[in-house]
Every structure is written in C-alpha cells, then in structure tokens.
Amino acid sequence: MAGIKDVAAAAGVSVATVSRALNGHRSVSPDTRERVLEAVGRLGYRPNAVARSLRTDRTRTLGLVIGDVMNPYFTELARFVEEEARARGYSVIIGNADERPELQDHHIRTLLDRRIDGLLVSPADGRSPFAPGTRPPTPPVVLVDRWVPGLDVTVIRAEGASAVRDLVRHLRALGRRRIAVITGPPATTTARERVAAFREAIAAQGLHLPEAYVGEGDFRADSGRRVTEAFLDLPEPPEVVFATDNLMALGALDAIRSRGLRVPEDIGVAAFDDIPWFQHTDPPLTAVAQPVAELARAAVGALTDLIEGRAARSVTLSARLVVRRSCGERPAGPTPTNGPRRSA
C-alpha cells in the first residue's frame, strides 16, 4: 500500500510538503500542491488514519453505546447519531450492550482503548458506566435518553411526564379507568421516571392504581407478554395496558390476542416510544413519541462541543402523545390535547 513517502518521491518533494498540501496548509505553492495531488491520484494514495491518529491524538470517531440494537428506538437513535456525526466529520462506532452491564463495560473499555474522541452512552443500568479501573474517562462523555443519578455529565433526554399525563387524560376521556402499567428494569432511570410520571398522572385524574396493576418487565417483548398475562388473570383485569417500552407493548399485544381478546374493544394498549412499526400494527398503536432525530442531533452537538473545547449544557426535549386507535375510538369533536406539538 502506497504511503506518504511514495507520494513524496513521486512528486519530488518531502513528506512534510505532501502532508501540508493534503491538509490544506497555506504556504504550499499552487504549483507544488498540484504536483502532489497528481501523485496522490496516480498512486491512489489514502492517508493511514491509524498513523494520523497516533500523531494527532484525535481519531475523529465517536463511540455510541446503546441498550439494545434490536430495539427500534435505539436503532433509529443510532442511525441519526451517525448521520449527524458524519455531517460534522466524525465516524461512529456502535456498541450494543444487549441490556447487559458487563457487555456495556466491555464496549466502553474497547472504545476507550481505541481512543475515540468522545462517548455517547445510554446506560444499561444505574451504575456508573465507568467501571473502577477506568480512571477519569479521558474523552468527553454525553448521556442520551437514560442517565445515571449521581453522575455529573451532560445529559440529552426527553421528558415524557407531560405526554404521559396527556395519555391518561386521553384514556379517561375514552371512558377507561382501570389502567395497568408494565415497567422496565428499575435500575434504569427511564423506567423509574416513566412509572413515576404514570402514577402522578393517574392520581391527577383521580384514578386509583392497585399494586397488582404494576408489573415489572425488562424492555423485551417476552416480559411484556408475561406481565400482561398476569394482568389478564386478575379477577378484575385492566381496561388498558400501558407498556413503558415498545418491545414490551408488542408482547402485550401478543398475550392479548392469544387469549382471543380484541384491541381496543376488549382491552386497550398504549406504549412509550413510538416507532415506525406502530403505524403498521393492527390496530395502529397509540404511543408517546420521543423526538429521536432531535435527541441524536443535540447529543452529537453537545459531544462535539465538548470535544472541541466548547461548553455543553444538558438538554431536555419533550415527548408528545401520538393518538392512534389501540385504546378505542376517539370521541367525536376536536380533542385539544393531542395535536402534533413541537418539542422544546
């Protein structure tokens, strides 16, 4: 493979000049630059990013560690993160934690070893993702979506409380009062927040939430099914199941169907995290939608700010309720609470 030396030889200049010509330095005569570029083209030379990184101590690479690639929410997040990073001249290496803390640690360690310039994490559990032994996480870190309580780093997330309030109000308006919730692993902030928001909203509507209506899942479809089955076995089953994650909502849907019940006639379903698929389920699912693209953009923006020495503040965007048909038909007339609303 042709190296910078070959180019230098071919162009009859020194390696320093080649480097300067390629990095757009002033003080390289147009004539020389021309010759260098010609040689580069002729040899098909491409600079070795490894060598360059060693010298400059910058990899122009961001690490992104997410809870689960197979979760469409994260897939979408990853996609937008890469897009925004690319626009800013960075590559992204994705680490899939598969919701396993030790795998998350593995990826973070690997990414740090590769000297990525910055790290974006959506922590799988409540522990600091910087295991002991990982000294001051050298590169800047930004947390997305999920965060870690005592950890003082920039966090980019969406608040869902008001959308959850909207959801409960919407359900109430449809005449549904017995609402059950499937929570995520209590170790994640998102799970705790969503349940808290839900409890509050229930109380605000003057409704009651028996403990039997709170079931713990793990952000996977199977757990949604399991928990929903328990709900259906209750002497007084709920009228709506609210899953705090999209995969668990799917599981809920399965459990309900396998009992021969109909959605929304017999029981309603709602989910946190809206994903393209929800338009295609039958019935289309009512969900709380996070502004994923904006989250991704804000996160990459904050991270690159930190990398390039600027300050970065935490940002909280707002989620919104997307009403579809899985909780029952909307009563006639305009419903002021669920039009598309811009996030902050």
Closest CA to 277 of 252, 243, 240, 247: 247
| Contact (Cβ atoms closer than 8 angstroms) between residue 288 and residue 320 | yes
The answer to the question of residue 281 lying near a copy of itself (CB under 8 A) is yes
Which of 91, 205, 314, 335: binder of a copy of itself (CB under 8 A)? 91
Q: Is 19 in the site for DNA (CB under 7 A)?
A: yes
Among 24, 57, 133, 149, binds DNA (CB under 7 A): 57
User: What number of residues does the chain have?
Assistant: 344
The CB-of-103 to DNA minimum distance in angstroms stands at 24
Q: Angle at the Cα of 71 (from 197 to 257), degrees rounded to 5?
A: 80
**CA gap 156, 114 in Å, rounded:** 24
Which CA distances in Å does 338 have to 1, 187, 265?
59, 31, 21
**Cα atoms in the Cβ-side hemisphere of radius 13 Å centred on 96:** 9
Q: Which of 38, 41, 42, 54 binds DNA (CB under 7 A)?
A: 54
Closest approach of Cβ 163 to DNA, in Å? Answer: 47
Q: How many residues bind a copy of itself (CB under 8 A)?
A: 48
H-helix or E-strand spanning residue 159: strand 154-159
Q: Considering beta carbons, is residue 13 or 191 the nearer one to DNA?
A: 13
- Convert residues 201-230 into a mask of x (bound to a copy of itself by CB under 8 A) and - (unbound): --------------------x---------
Among 88, 101, 110, 161, binds a copy of itself (CB under 8 A): 110
* Shortest Cβ 300–DNA spacing (Å): 23
301 class by beta-carbon count within 10 Å (0-12 exposed, 13-18 middle, 19+ buried) = middle
- 254: CB partners within 8 A, 6+ apart: 221, 224, 225
**54 part of the interface to a copy of itself, by CB under 8 A:** yes
Dihedral of the CA atoms 152, 123, 312, 53 (nearest 10)? Answer: 110
For the CB of residue 100, give the shortest distance to a copy of itself in the complex, in Å.
12
| Residue 13 interacting with DNA (CB under 7 A) | yes
Structure tokens at 154: 């920039």
Which residues form the interface with a copy of itself (CB under 8 A)?
1-2, 41, 44, 46-51, 53-54, 59, 69-70, 72, 75-76, 78-79, 82, 86, 91, 93-94, 96, 106, 109-110, 112-115, 133-135, 138, 221, 250, 253-254, 257, 276-277, 279-282
Which residues form the interface with DNA (CB under 7 A)?
1, 3-5, 12-20, 22-23, 26-29, 31-32, 45, 47-48, 51-52, 54-57
